[in-house]
Structure 1
């Protein structure tokens, strides 16, 4: 009997992955730990390794299809397995056909005759939870969809093609069969589809017919952009966001950094930016106010022991949030090296699963593109996020006199289920004090 290969767990809080590219074909022989496919999630790109040695007999999930963690994606007949001689000779043919590119959009929706025959056959198609959820959100009758997957299985890409084409047209002669959810994958429906205890699930937005004028550019939503969108909606729906801000006089920090950056670059081979100073102040304040370093867990609040700082790194088409592990144990130099390394590997597409997991608090450097004020969305399941805005010179009253100072806004969004304004205000004042006290005695190492 063939071994089932499932979509693996691809990181903390990751609920689904997209097969971006198959690295094997039906009939290929693979060894244990050989890479089978490239997978994209909202957190990282990764490869799925083979769990056994043998021959690929069927590819279940097609390129571009997004499925839940634990979903069957591939069959491998193990080397020397007794079931190899009994394998159906037709199976490789069906699977091989399924690896071809999907048919054009107009072939995705069945004609009334085809739909009627599907109903008359008396057989119920099985659908993955991801397909069922997407079809229900957009009013797609799965009984009228011609699948391009293995054995005619309806894939997420098939449903998305119908949505992109403007949805299904009413067909009076076709009956709407209720979909049968694949029970093996049912337990892995993404958490984004489930309502939070005590709160209603967000109502999916109805498809909007937006007129397209000559010269308009239509950009298809990529799997990673769609996943980011879903996670942002989930965070805003589940966590009651509150927002607060303090302004900080960082004149002394600017002067100190300007004096130290030349020697630092010569000794360490990297630029000394402002971000490590802000992260250092944050982690020291998190040790004073550990409740900020917490997460909501339904019937309890978990205060995390480790202080792992997530940082936002943007690429041309996505936003990644790699993690500086044990940031409270690092010097400013150590934090600077971690930031530089994670940013470089993010843009090179070389992040690992470990790089993306375990974050307990996020520091977002929105000031790098000139922002002076923002309301960041919490990086769920964390309880708070801090945005460091742009440092600007402006007149400030000091001892009843006007002086030109370098000022920065620190903007904090918090999960009001976990945190209240009092503790967050104290936390921000602690960060502010540490930043304003930076001077010639500040240790970089």
Structure 2
């Protein structure tokens, strides 16, 4: 009897996952706990092991498809079990969705008759026209035009005063009846369950928003940004504007009210030639981009830079690194020393190990140290929990373990959450220093520049100056000026420098 392979839940807040790669083909033998496919979620990328030993007899969800947790994505039969023809899943339908909206407005004559008898007859006819065409193969007729609305609305507005289809077109899906949505419908609506929940609670029609995700899906940061801008400008919710338009006769006012939202969210058009290659962002790249934009929009970033003399640590490492590796199985690098110095300074300056929650400051009693790890496919920040309780050896072991499991996609979701302060090390690539972006909701991040020998002016006990060869490097602290004053940031980094020297 075949055993179902399900999309696992990789954390409490994870509602769906994207299959990025099948590591086995239909008909391949698999061992128990052998990785069979890779997934990407909002929190972590991971390899999913086989629940049983046997033969992969069916793939139900193709690479690139996003499905809710607990969805059956394939099945494993007994070893040597015959494979039925066509057991491999086809490529996900969403790839064919983008062209559909472009062609949707074309069929005009057949649909004017069933259009609802409301004042904005042209708009309603446009919204209803596509419905008869896709009704055979598409689960929801009115839904396909939604993805194109944000893209087509601005040009139409410039040409004629009839861009109103954007608002009415979004309304039919809301009244389409209570039924279960298919995966294709969710993708066309460009939202995840979490985004739809936020939209429902805030009264926002997500079909009226321009999404930055793949297939123009509205991401969490898209809707949070919209809500933030709406709060600042006092503009009405997109959903409530559409509702008001349906309830009252005139539809022109909602269209004009919705237009500013589209204009504010619009981006300059990009000219793409046949010499350019267009590739969809990976999930980890999209999440990184969203988080970086969110942080720059949230925090008042300022960076201060100090030069540190690592000569004493360099001598200590040179004396002890071989014995340290032989005894503990871990390399003795500069990072554990930097971690330790930062931890001591965080205890002295609690405002650096804090977060801002609205108009309140949250001071974290525990120190959970994030360490940025560069991967071939992106960047991830696993967290050393209770780092203040660890010695140099403990920090070295934790750093090596987390880095190895990050590169082999074996991190757990909880291991990349809850950081209170982060250290990133661009110096490993030769960078003198950088100005790193603060990971939210933290208020500071420490960047480590390359450590190398340089000529430095040194002063002896008698006050005489001379040139000496010293092992030095730069430390750069990016901090949130909403909470941390420049003087406090400099005192914090000065304390780190003093400990290291």
Q: Give the TM-score normalised by the residue count of structure 2.
A: 0.61
Q: Any idea what SS the aligned residue of 2:102 has?
A: coil
Q: Which residue of 1 aligns with 2:102?
A: 109
Q: Any idea what SS the aligned residue of 1:178 has?
A: helix
Q: Which residue of 1 aligns with 2:488?
A: 423
Superposition RMSD on alpha carbons, in Å?
Answer: 4.6
Distance 1:295 1:199, change over 3 A: farther
- In structure 1, C-alpha distance between the alignment counterparts of 2:436 and 2:71, rounded to whole Å: 39
Q: 2:373 aligns with which of 309, 313, 332?
A: 313
Structure 1 gap segments, 5+ residues each:
24-34, 50-60, 77-95, 124-140, 437-445
Q: 2:198 aligns with which of 188, 193, 197?
A: 188
Q: Give yes or no for the alignment of 1:178 onto 2:178.
A: no
Q: Is this contact kept in 2: 1:42–1:227, CA < 8 A?
A: yes
Distance 1:173 1:192, change over 3 A: closer
Q: Give yes or no for the alignment of 1:297 onto 2:354.
A: no
Structure 1 residue 209, shift from structure 2 partner:
2.4
Distance 1:63 1:383, change over 3 A: same
Distance 1:122 1:240, change over 3 A: farther
Deviations 1:289-315 (A, max 9, x none): 111100111120101111010011111
Structure 1 residue 193, shift from structure 2 partner:
2.7
Q: Is this contact kept in 2: 1:148–1:154, CA < 8 A?
A: no
Distance 1:291 1:15, change over 3 A: farther
Deviations 1:20-75 (A, max 9, x none): 4799xxxxxxxxxxx999642353125899xxxxxxxxxxx9964669xxx89859
- In structure 2, C-alpha distance between the alignment counterparts of 1:63 and 1:299, rounded to whole Å: 44
Distance 1:21 1:408, change over 3 A: closer
Q: Which stretch shifts more, 358-367 or 390-399?
A: 390-399
Q: Which residue of 2 aligns with 1:85?
A: none
- In structure 2, C-alpha distance between the alignment counterparts of 1:295 and 1:408, rounded to whole Å: 29
Equivalent positions of 1:262-341 (< 5 A) are 262-341=322-401
Q: Is this contact kept in 2: 1:116–1:174, CA < 8 A?
A: no
- In structure 2, C-alpha distance between the alignment counterparts of 1:64 and 1:331, rounded to whole Å: 43
Distance 1:251 1:152, change over 3 A: same
Structure 1 residue 149, shift from structure 2 partner:
10
Q: Is this contact kept in 2: 1:144–1:174, CA < 8 A?
A: no
Q: Any idea what SS the aligned residue of 2:170 has?
A: coil
Q: Which residue of 2 aligns with 1:342?
A: 402
Q: Is this contact kept in 1: 2:7–2:17, CA < 8 A?
A: no
Q: Which residue of 2 aligns with 1:130?
A: none
Q: Any idea what SS the aligned residue of 2:470 has?
A: strand
Deviations 1:186-219 (A, max 9, x none): 33352553244875799545153234353x4433
Deviations 1:203-237 (A, max 9, x none): 545153234353x4433212221121111001001
Distance 1:289 1:8, change over 3 A: same
- In structure 2, C-alpha distance between the alignment counterparts of 1:154 and 1:393, rounded to whole Å: 66
Q: Is this contact kept in 2: 1:19–1:39, CA < 8 A?
A: yes
- In structure 2, C-alpha distance between the alignment counterparts of 1:410 and 1:211, rounded to whole Å: 40
Q: Which stretch shifts more, 357-366 or 191-200?
A: 191-200
Q: Give yes or no for the alignment of 1:151 onto 2:151.
A: no
Q: Any idea what SS the aligned residue of 2:312 has?
A: helix
Structure 1 residue 100, shift from structure 2 partner:
5.7
Point out which structure has higher relative CO (alpha carbons under 8 A, 6+ apart): 1
Q: 2:297 aligns with which of 237, 247, 250?
A: 237
Q: Give the TM-score normalised by the residue count of structure 1.
A: 0.68
Structure 1 residue 110, shift from structure 2 partner:
3.3
Q: Any idea what SS the aligned residue of 1:379 has?
A: coil
- In structure 2, C-alpha distance between the alignment counterparts of 1:147 and 1:65, rounded to whole Å: 23
Distance 1:191 1:250, change over 3 A: same
Q: Is this contact kept in 1: 2:105–2:129, CA < 8 A?
A: no
Q: Any idea what SS the aligned residue of 1:374 has?
A: coil
Q: Is this contact kept in 2: 1:192–1:231, CA < 8 A?
A: no
Q: Which residue of 2 aligns with 1:127?
A: none
Structure 1 residue 317, shift from structure 2 partner:
1.4
The number of equivalent residue pairs is 367
- In structure 1, C-alpha distance between the alignment counterparts of 2:269 and 2:147, rounded to whole Å: 17
Distance 1:288 1:420, change over 3 A: same
Q: Any idea what SS the aligned residue of 1:394 has?
A: strand
Distance 1:251 1:350, change over 3 A: same
Q: Is this contact kept in 2: 1:44–1:353, CA < 8 A?
A: yes
Equivalent positions of 1:82-161 (< 5 A) are 101-102=92-93, 104=96, 106-107=99-100, 109-114=102-107, 151-152=139-140, 159=147
Structure 2 gap segments, 5+ residues each:
1-5, 24-34, 50-60, 74-86, 117-126, 175-188, 200-219, 234-260, 460-464
Q: Is this contact kept in 2: 1:243–1:413, CA < 8 A?
A: yes
